[in-house]
Structure 1
């Protein structure tokens, strides 16, 4: 689980530095040069900054999505209750008894089918096929439960078909009313929108959104991932020129001051890392991101996918004829993050309790062999670029904090005692990181966190490296269980880490933990 060796960009492999008298001798990663010969900027976010202090990011706003969800959920509940309480339904009292679990199941089915994520032009007829299927399935389950619990009130086939049809008609009517109100509100108060791209498509889109407010979008600025120039530039968009946003600060300022709610990408850009960072900036500020006229899903920037589902396929998923996809980040969403955090807490707490005697033994061994200072503390970069202090058992004496933050360690340092060498070879020096997991600094499984000095350089040398920080750093990870430790390619590690995030599942975490536990019985060291 210990992985700190430098890769030479020419070979993609780590190189052994000449011996030096320091805590962790190493060779620094090369700094990429700009065409002018000046060192490339070290900021992780590729968009340029303006002078002065950056504006504070605005709060993440999701009230529009919450209101739509609440209104549609209320419509579904009213339709279900009205169906069970309709005159002539003799089993109405018993139906109301089983209505709550049935309604919960229907809500889950509708949520999984995307029926609570409407677009500006979503209509009840767009949702009708999926809604009919869900309601029919629920009524079959309710009828079975009713027959098993109260046989005297079992529903006949004709009654069952009538109830399902009534429920479908009421649900469709209620949803049609909700969508009608939403479309009217969008037409009268279109949401401020950023258009990303400056080509002919962007110009036509701006004109279309201005002429057709029923889409609920009002362009307030134009941005391009590769734009350069002053922040006060204007983009010629007919009689009313739009601000041309060219820096990260100007994007944050527009989102905060104009209350931007949507961003439409007409051109994903050629710089994948820069575009991916822009996607994460906008989604992190609560904006809904759309991608226009996408021929294939692999044209998306790293770490994103088009959001598909029953409501995304109909012809309504367009902006004045431009095919439109909503884009969401890959990786665990809210429920997945909660499950991942629960797994981390349970496993880490149990592991700390069972490993307490081993932790004490390791601490005593380090104290006896290398003197005071059992724990080694080092700053690492975690999720979203936030720094934290990583804990390890000290394996090298002396340990210079500054040098260890900017130099790579080597596996066979002469000043490493037998205890330190054993701890590294068995990965027991990583055990204190279980406390980092309990604190929430790290996860059990994820990309290995790196030091800020090297994160900046690797982010410049490897375009996909910065995307690893979409998820908390891990004690172990997919790259580590595939042998990418020590003298291995950083480019390969970044590729494995991003694949892990893009295809995350709780079972994948369990598999990686099991493979890591198995590898402890055949230690190879670092």
Structure 2
């Protein structure tokens, strides 16, 4: 018998949660991901020639690592709904050739013998053929496991139109997509019938709770009738962010020519990739911060001393300016700067918006602000863990409350640590510029975060400082 789940509601009792048939295999396979099978098989297939030829074992291990790294960068270990070896074959061949070129250059640089390099590349060619064969076998294995429902992931479809209904029918009929249909989530004014064939299990405001109760791993957004702003708010909820998020593009007939197109029953779908704001990669960001901050404090110590001296001469006692700012998750901390304005009482300091022509700024302070030298003490904030090198700039509590009320996306900036510099600042949004623009750039940075993006922002910051493009 199907189990009836009830989602806690504060709204009308007329919207009920209809029966949901629990999928035992979905519970067992929740943690499975595409790379867990394909990556080990790719690497093992590449190293098979070592069974009969150990002359190039070091080079083969290095070449195998390069190959799987290039595959990973090309998205060849990302889960797909429509699995086809022939769809992947062009990408596989191109990336195998790229890996072989890298390996050949390294081998030529390390060995003067043409015969050695030629022999090594022959073994690499055999390994590449074995990788293709291994990839074909893994695709057949995954399809078999899906069709027999040994592997499937519980899925909620967000939407109430004909596309959402058709997707539900396809997932029920064709298990090779690896998704177990759990039910619909839609806006209150839904067009779903109250029947077991179209189980409405909640509306948008219930989505996070429904995911928790039904242990869903995939959210598929189809033709939900709501504004983009509302949909974006829901997609950013922590419970939704923990799921794999797939969308049906509104102009699905016009798919991108880049990458491998994906579909469910010829309905184009696209996986929404979001950066992980926790885990190993974000921990690496912290290591990067500590190295940058410690090195900068050491190398810039003469500059820091000089700034302290001119601040004392130009403005009297009180070299450092300390002020409460709001950091990650809304936690307050004490920010450090070289004082560039005359002393003010606490109320004025916390609630007065400073601009470039502020009369409180003296000649020394104007120079420090224009060159951004007044920000250097924040390297200690970074070392202490209050801040990061690149992130949204921290703001005072008074203005955080005010801006969060006026601009709904402003509070989303606090998903990550605040930074010494940020994408908004190197994009010209410093000083008296629109808060809505800053929030948009900050959230774009968060949602597209990578270590390379951090490096780009740092390079652009250095260019701005050299040009004297500060406030």
Partner of 2:457: 509
Give distance in 2, aligned partners of 1:493 and 1:138: 41
Larger displacement relative to structure 2 (358-367 or 385-394): 358-367
TM-score normalised according to structure 1 size: 0.67
Count of residue pairs brought into register by the alignment: 439
Aligned to 2:88: 127
C-alpha displacement of 1:339: 6.4
CA drift of 1:510 comes to 3.2
Distance 2:423 2:62 in 1: 39
CA contact (8 A) 2:327 2:386 kept: no
Return the alpha-carbon distance in structure 1 between the equivalents of residues 380 and 71 of structure 2: 40
Aligned position for 1:223:
185
Aligned to 2:41: 75
User: 377, 383, 387: which one pairs with 2:323?
Assistant: 377
Q: 1:117 to 1:160 in 2, by over 3 A?
A: same
1-side partners of 2:144 and 2:268: how far apart? 24
Once residues 67 and 513 of structure 1 are traced to their aligned partners in structure 2, the CA distance between those partners, rounded to angstroms, is: 38
**Cα offsets for 1:94-131 (capped at 9, x unmatched):** 13342101101111121122221132442333323333
Matching of residue 290 in structure 1 with residue 246 in structure 2: yes
CA gap 1:83/1:167 in 2 versus in 1, 3 angstroms: farther
Partners of 2:146 and 2:272 in 1: CA distance: 21
Q: CA deviation at 1:511?
A: 2.6
Equivalent-residue separation in structure 2 for 1:439 and 1:296 (angstroms): 48
- Backbone CA RMSD of aligned residues: 4.5
By percentage of residues, which structure has more helix? 2
Q: How does 1:363-402 map onto structure 2 within 5 Å?
A: 374-382=320-328, 387-393=332-338, 395-400=341-346
Q: Tell me, in whole angstroms, the C-alpha distance in 1 between the residues paired with 2:94 and 2:400.
A: 50
**Is residue 253 from structure 1 mapped to residue 214 from structure 2 by the alignment?**
no
The gaps in structure 2 that reach 5 residues or longer are 1-8, 12-26
- The answer on 1:176 being equivalent to 2:134 is no
Q: Which residue, out of 230, 235, 241, partners 1:274?
A: 230
- What corresponds to 2:381 in structure 1? 436
Q: How does 1:322-401 map to 2 (within 5 A)?
A: 322-329=267-274, 337=282, 341-356=286-301, 359=304, 374-382=320-328, 387-393=332-338, 395-400=341-346
User: 1:68-89 CA distances to partner (integer Å, 9 max, x unpaired)?
Assistant: 3232122113322334435xxx
What's the CA shift for 1:366?
A: 7.1
Instruction: Give the conservation status (yes or no) of the 8 Å contact 2:426–2:460.
Output: yes
Aligned with 2:434 (options 466, 477, 489) = 489
Task: Specify which structure has the bigger relative contact order, considering alpha-carbon pairs within 8 angstroms and separated by 6 or more residues.
Answer: 1
Q: CA deviation at 1:137?
A: 5.2
8 Å Cα contact 1:381-1:455 kept in structure 2: no
After TM superposition, the structure 1 stretch with the greater mean CA deviation from structure 2, 284-293 or 208-217, is 208-217
Listed as ranges, the gaps of 5+ residues in structure 1 are 1-48, 52-60, 87-91, 299-305
Counterparts of 2:416 and 2:290, CA distance in 1: 16
CA contact (8 A) 1:448 1:476 kept: yes
Distance 2:120 2:467 in 1: 59
